[in-house]
C-alpha cells in the first residue's frame, strides 16, 4: 500500500494525527510505522471503540436496570462426586483422547509482575521440592494423560497425542519459546507444542484517538484473554500466512478443545471427566466452576443474564442476591464461581468470527504514557487518561446454542497464583500448600498413611489424578520428599 493511500485511509478514519512526525522520522522509523499501521484494521478499531463506549454508557443508564440476572436454572449444571457418573464421563473423555480428538489451549500471555517477576507466569517456581514450574507441571500432566489413554485403549505407547496450543503475548512469546526449548519441551514432542500470540489493540484517548507511544509507534496493549478467539484465526508465524491454530486443529482432526489459564497449579489439563461430561451433554461450549467460598467472594459467577448463559461479575449483583440461598439445598443461589476453565468444540471456535462483531469490548481506564503532538515530549500521566480495550474469554457464552456447566471441588482443581509471596491468599505459598495437600490425599486415598508434617510431592508423570498408586496400600510414610516413580516412595516409608 502506498503511503498516500495509507494516509488517506487514516484520515478518513479520523486518525491522521499518527503521521504528525512523519517528515522528521528516519527511513527505518517510517518503514516501522508504515508496517504497524498497514497491519492495523483501523476501521475495526473505530467500530470496537464506538461499541465499547455505547455498551459502557448503556450499562450505566437507568434503563439497564431492566437487565434480569438470575441463578442458573435447575438442571443447567451438574457436579462431580458421584462415582458412577464420574467414571462414565471419564471413559467418554479418555476414549476421545485416545482417538486423537482432543487438543489443549493454554492462555499464558501474562507476566508475573505482581509476583515480582517480569518472566511469563508459567515460568514461576512456587517453591515445590522439585522446583518444577507451572509450565512443567502442565506439560507432564499432558504426558501422563497421553500414556494413560494409550494404555486404557490398548494402543501402542507414544501413539496418543494431545497437541498443546500455547497462547503468549508480545512481551512473553520469545521468552516462553526459549524457556520451552531450553527445557527440551518438558519431554513433549516439539511438533505438538504450538505457540501463537494474543492480539493487541491500540490504546485510545476518551475521544477514540490513538495514542503515539513514540513518534514512530502507536501505543498498543493486549486485547484481553478473550482475544484468544481472534488469535486462533491469525497466522502462527510470518513465514506461512495460512497456518493458524484453527487450520492446525482441522489438519489434526481435533473435535474438542480444553482451554484454561496458566496460573492454576491444580488444573487438570484435558480433564477426561470434564471432556466426557461436555461431550455427553453435546455442548458446544462448557464451563468448569467451583462453589463460591463465601457470599461476597470477589469472583464472577456463571449465571443467567436475560435468559442467556453469562458470567456476572461480583460487582453486578447486590448483597441480597449474593447472600440468597436455595431453599431446598441451603447452598448459595449464585454459587458457580468462574475459574476460566472451558470446553469448546472446534466447530464452535470456527463460528465465533460470525458473531464477534456483536461482542462489546470492555473498557479499562488506565494511565497511558504518550507523545505530546505539539512538543514531541513523552508525557507520563499521574491519573487515568485513556482506555485499553479488552474482551473476556467468557463473552461468547450468550452466543452458545448448547452450554453446560460442571461444578468441581475447589481443593482438587483450583488454586490460582495471583499475588506476591507472603500475601496470604492466592500466592506461591498457598499454591504450594494446596498442591502438596492434594498429593497427600492421593496417597491416603490409595490406602496409605502420611504422618503429620510429612510433605510428599508426586511427579505428574507418576499420577495424573491419584491413579497408579495401588501398590502403596497399607504403607506409612514418615519422611518428606519428591518422587519420580512409585518405587521411590518406599524410601519415604
What is the bridge-based pairing of β-strands 370-371 and 378-379?
antiparallel
Cell numbers placing 318: 447486590
**DSSP helix/strand/coil, 439:** helix
Cell numbers placing 198: 494474543
**How does DSSP assign 296-348, residue by residue?**
T-S--EEEEETTEEEEEPGGGS-HHHHH-B-TTT-SBSS-EEEEEEEEEEHHH
Cα–Cα distance measured from residue 130 to residue 230, given in angstroms and rounded to the nearest whole number: 37
208: left (phi over 0), alpha (psi -120 to 50) or beta: left
Helices 272-280 and 83-98: crossing angle in degrees, nearest 10, is 90
Cβ 48 vs Cβ 208: under 8 Å:
no
Using the structure block, give the residue that is written with the C-alpha cell 507511544. Answer: 213
Instruction: Name the nearest CA neighbour of 94 among 215, 335, 282, 256.
Output: 256
Cα–Cα distance measured from residue 131 to residue 112, given in angstroms and rounded to the nearest whole number: 17
**How does DSSP assign 275-296, residue by residue?**
HHHHHHTT-SEEEEEEE-SSTT
pTM of the model: 0.92
Cβ 103 vs Cβ 249: under 8 Å:
yes
The helix or strand, by DSSP H or E, that contains position 458, with its residue range, turns out to be strand 456-458
Cα–Cα distance measured from residue 150 to residue 159, given in angstroms and rounded to the nearest whole number: 7
Cα–Cα distance measured from residue 493 to residue 489, given in angstroms and rounded to the nearest whole number: 7
What is the bridge-based pairing of β-strands 386-390 and 204-205?
antiparallel
Give the pLDDT of the chain (493 residues) as one tens digit per residue. Answer: 899 999 999 999 999 999 999 999 999 999 999 999 998 999 999 999 999 999 887 664 444 455 789 999 888 899 999 999 999 999 999 999 999 999 999 999 887 777 888 889 999 999 999 999 999 999 999 999 999 999 999 999 999 999 999 999 888 999 999 999 999 999 999 999 999 999 889 999 999 999 999 999 999 998 989 999 999 999 998 888 899 999 999 999 999 999 999 999 999 999 999 999 999 999 999 999 999 999 999 899 999 999 999 999 888 888 999 999 999 889 999 999 999 999 999 999 999 999 988 888 999 999 999 999 999 999 999 999 999 999 999 999 999 999 999 999 999 999 999 999 999 999 999 999 999 999 999 999 999 999 999 999 999 999 999 999 999 999 999 999 999 999 999 999 9
What is the bridge-based pairing of β-strands 370-371 and 212-214?
unpaired
Nearest 5°: the CA angle 374, 378, 382 is 110
**Could you give the count of Cα atoms lying within 13 Å of 334 in the half-sphere of its Cβ?**
30
Amino acid at each position: 500500500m502506498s503511503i498516500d493511500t495509507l494516509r488517506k485511509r487514516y484520515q478518513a478514519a479520523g486518525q491522521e494525527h499518527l503521521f504528525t512526525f512523519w517528515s522528521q522520522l528516519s527511513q527505518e522509523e517510517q518503514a516501522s510505522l508504515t508496517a504497524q499501521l498497514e497491519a492495523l484494521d483501523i476501521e475495526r478499531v473505530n467500530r470496537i471503540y464506538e461499541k465499547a463506549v455505547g455498551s459502557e454508557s448503556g450499562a450505566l443508564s437507568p434503563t439497564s436496570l431492566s437487565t434480569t440476572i438470575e441463578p442458573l436454572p435447575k438442571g443447567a449444571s451438574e457436579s462431580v462426586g458421584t462415582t458412577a457418573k464420574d467414571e462414565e464421563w471419564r471413559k467418554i473423555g479418555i476414549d476421545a483422547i485416545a482417538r486423537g480428538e482432543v487438543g489443549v489451549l493454554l492462555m499464558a500471555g501474562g507476566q508475573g509482575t505482581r509476583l515480582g517477576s517480569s518472566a511469563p507466569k508459567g515460568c514461576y517456581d512456587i517453591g515445590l521440592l522439585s522446583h518444577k514450574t507451572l509450565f512443567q507441571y502442565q506439560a507432564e500432566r499432558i504426558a501422563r494423560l497421553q500414556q494413560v489413554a494409550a494404555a486404557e485403549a490398548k494402543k501402542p505407547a507414544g501413539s496418543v497425542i494431545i497437541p498443546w496450543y500455547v497462547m503468549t503475548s508480545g512481551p512473553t512469546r520469545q521468552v516462553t519459546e526459549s524457556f520451552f526449548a531450553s527445557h527440551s519441551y518438558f519431554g513433549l514432542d516439539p511438533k505438538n507444542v504450538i505457540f501463537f500470540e494474543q492480539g493487541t489493540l491500540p490504546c485510545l484517548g476518551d475521544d477514540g484517538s490513538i495514542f503515539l507511544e513514540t513518534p514512530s509507534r502507536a501505543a498498543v496493549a493486549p486485547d484481553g484473554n478473550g482475544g484468544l478467539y481472534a488469535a486462533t484465526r491469525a497466522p502462527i508465524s510470518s513465514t506461512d500466512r495460512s497456518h493458524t491454530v484453527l487450520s492446525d486443529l482441522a489438519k489434526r482432526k481435533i473435535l474438542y478443545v480444553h482451554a484454561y489459564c496458566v496460573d492454576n497449579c491444580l488444573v487438570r489439563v484435558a480433564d477426561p471427566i470434564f471432556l466426557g461430561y461436555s461431550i455427553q451433554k453435546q455442548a458446544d461450549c462448557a464451563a468448569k466452576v467451583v462453589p463460591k467460598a463465601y457470599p461476597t467472594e470477589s469472583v464472577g459467577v456463571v449465571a443467567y443474564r436475560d435468559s442467556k448463559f453469562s458470567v456476572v461479575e461480583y460487582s453486578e449483583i447486590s448483597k441480597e442476591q449474593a447472600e440468597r440461598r436455595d431453599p431446598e439445598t441451603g447452598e448459595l443461589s449464585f454459587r458457580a464461581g468462574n475459574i476460566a476453565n472451558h470446553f469448546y468444540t472446534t466447530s464452535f471456535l470456527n463460528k465465533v468470527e460470525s458473531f464477534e462483531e456483536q461482542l462489546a469490548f470492555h473498557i479499562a481506564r488506565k494511565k497511558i504514557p504518550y507523545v505530546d503532538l505539539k512538543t514531541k515530549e513523552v508525557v507520563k500521566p499521574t491519573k487515568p487518561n485513556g482506555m485499553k480495550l479488552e474482551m473476556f474469554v467468557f463473552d461468547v457464552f450468550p452466543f452458545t446454542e448448547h452450554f453446560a456447566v460442571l461444578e468441581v471441588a475447589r481443593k482438587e482443581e483450583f488454586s490460582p497464583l495471583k499475588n506476591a509471596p507472603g500475601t496470604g491468599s492466592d500466592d506461591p505459598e498457598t499454591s504450594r500448600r494446596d498442591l502438596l495437600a492434594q498429593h497427600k490425599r492421593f496417597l491416603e486415598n490409595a490406602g496409605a498413611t502420611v504422618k503429620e508434617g510429612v510433605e510428599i510431592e508426586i511427579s505428574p508423570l507418576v499420577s495424573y489424578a491419584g491413579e497408579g498408586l495401588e501398590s502403596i496400600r497399607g504403607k506409612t510414610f514418615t519422611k518428606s520428599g519428591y518422587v519420580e516413580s512409585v518405587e521411590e516412595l518406599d524410601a519415604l516409608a
